[in-house]
């Protein structure tokens, strides 16, 4: 009964964890569902345009003449695309602010809380900040939580699973080792995705391995506890 109840509650917990993962990461690339791109954006940032550029090439294109748009793009790409607060602000006030005041503030002056406010340098900085994904300190915080938490989950579930009857032995061993390797692969890849975006695949593979093994351990343990009589030779 202890094992059954523990597996039941852990199973529900795992479901909620999967919903949470989906809620947090799916759709970041603008397409529904969870993809490699969503994870790349989460861990290493969007490598395409800043929000301001994307909107001026898209929905906001008609709001200003092309040559004024080029002036704003020029300002964004000064200093190698990093809008430094010091020098960037001076230049902003000189060349960008007049354009925004003339063309944008009728809608972006802060009157409507659902439209991004662009009335000063700080507001505009927010839509041109380079998106570099989750910062390392946040990653460290969630790393230690996951390392401890997932180890507890798989230790408990594997302690139940070791008592099942499974042959060949290597298969059982593999089913016990895999989730722990999955945890390490998954978490290491959060950091590695910042360096090389291909590691987003490893994040997905690590997560998928953990989920598959958890489901297998769960089903086999439950089935053998309640229905399986064991092979005749036992
Ligand atoms: C007629 C009103 C209007 C004017 C003028 C206008 N905008 Fe917008 N803008 C909107 C609305 C409404 C939205 C939000 C709707 C959306 O996200 O599609 C928006 C969204 C944006 C966004 C946010 C896009 C995102 O990623 O969420 C940016 C950046 C932006 N506008 C920049 C500008 C700039 C720069 C100008 C001036 C050149 C400008 N807008 C002029 C109405 C306006």
Using the mean position of ligand 1's atoms as its centre, give its distance from the Cα of residue 55 in Å: 7
Rounded to whole angstroms, the maximal C-alpha distance in the chain is: 87
101-106: long-range contacts, CB 8 A cutoff, minimum separation 24: 103/63, 103/64, 103/68, 104/60, 104/63, 104/64
- C-alpha dihedral, 75 to 78 to 80 to 82, nearest 10°: -60
Structure confidence at residue 83 (pLDDT) = 54
Instruction: Write out pLDDT tens, residues 111-128.
Output: 988 899 999 998 998 888
pLDDT at 176 over 90: yes
Q: How far apart are CA 122 and CA 133, in angstroms?
A: 20
Residues 197 and 141: beta-carbon distance below 8 Å: no
Residues 179 and 209: beta-carbon distance below 8 Å: yes
Structure confidence at residue 74 (pLDDT) = 86
Structure confidence at residue 45 (pLDDT) = 76
The owner of tokens 């991004």 is 116
Give the rounded percent of residues in the chain with a pLDDT score beyond 90. 55
Of all protein residues, the one whose alpha carbon is nearest to atom 2 of ligand 1 is: 107
Q: How far are the Cα atoms of 18, 188, 217 from residue 141, in angstroms, in the given order?
A: 20, 13, 29
Instruction: Write out pLDDT tens, residues 32-74.
Output: 888 888 888 888 877 666 778 878 887 888 899 999 999 898 8
Mean per-residue pLDDT of the chain:
88
Pocket residue to mutate for ligand 1, from 63, 73, 99, 123, most atoms within 8 A of Cβ: 63
Q: How far are the Cα atoms of 62, 112, 122 from residue 119, in angstroms, in the given order?
A: 19, 12, 8
Q: How far apart are CA 153 and CA 155, in angstroms?
A: 6
Using the mean position of ligand 1's atoms as its centre, give its distance from the Cα of residue 26 in Å: 24
The owner of tokens 């722990």 is 180
Q: How confident is the model at residue 144 (pLDDT cuts 50, 70, 90)?
A: very high
Residues 42 and 135: beta-carbon distance below 8 Å: no
Structure confidence at residue 177 (pLDDT) = 97
Instruction: Write out pLDDT tens, residues 63-115.
Output: 999 999 998 988 888 755 555 433 478 888 989 999 999 999 999 999 988 89
Q: How far apart are CA 78 and CA 74, in angstroms?
A: 6
Using the mean position of ligand 1's atoms as its centre, give its distance from the Cα of residue 209 in Å: 43
Instruction: Write out pLDDT tens, residues 183-224.
Output: 999 999 999 998 888 999 999 999 999 999 999 999 999 999
CB atoms within 10 A of CB 216: 15
């Amino acid at each position: 009964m202890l094992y059954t109840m523990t597996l039941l509650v852990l199973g529900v917990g795992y479901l909620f964890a999967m919903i949470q993962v989906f809620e947090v990461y799916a759709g970041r690339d603008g397409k529904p569902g969870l993809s490699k791109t969503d994870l790349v954006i989460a861990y290493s940032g969007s490598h395409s345009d800043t929000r301001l550029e994307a909107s001026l090439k898209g929905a906001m294109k008609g709001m200003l003449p092309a040559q004024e748009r080029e002036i704003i793009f020029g300002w964004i790409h000064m200093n190698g695309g990093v809008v430094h607060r010091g020098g960037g602000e001076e230049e902003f006030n000189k060349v960008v602010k007049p354009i925004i005041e003339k063309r944008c503030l009728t809608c972006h002056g802060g009157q409507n809380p659902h439209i991004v406010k662009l009335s000063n340098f700080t507001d505009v900085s927010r839509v041109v900040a380079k998106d570099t994904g989750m910062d390392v300190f946040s990653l460290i915080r969630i790393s230690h939580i996951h390392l401890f938490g997932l180890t507890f989950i798989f230790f408990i579930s594997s302690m139940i699973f070791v008592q099942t009857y499974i042959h060949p032995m290597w298969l059982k061993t593999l089913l016990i080792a895999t989730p722990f390797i999955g945890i390490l692969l998954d978490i290491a890849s959060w950091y590695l995705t910042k360096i090389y975006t291909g590691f987003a695949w490893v994040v997905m593979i690590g997560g998928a391995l953990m989920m598959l093994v958890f489901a297998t351990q769960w089903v086999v343990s439950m089935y053998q506890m309640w229905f399986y009589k064991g092979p005749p030779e036992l």
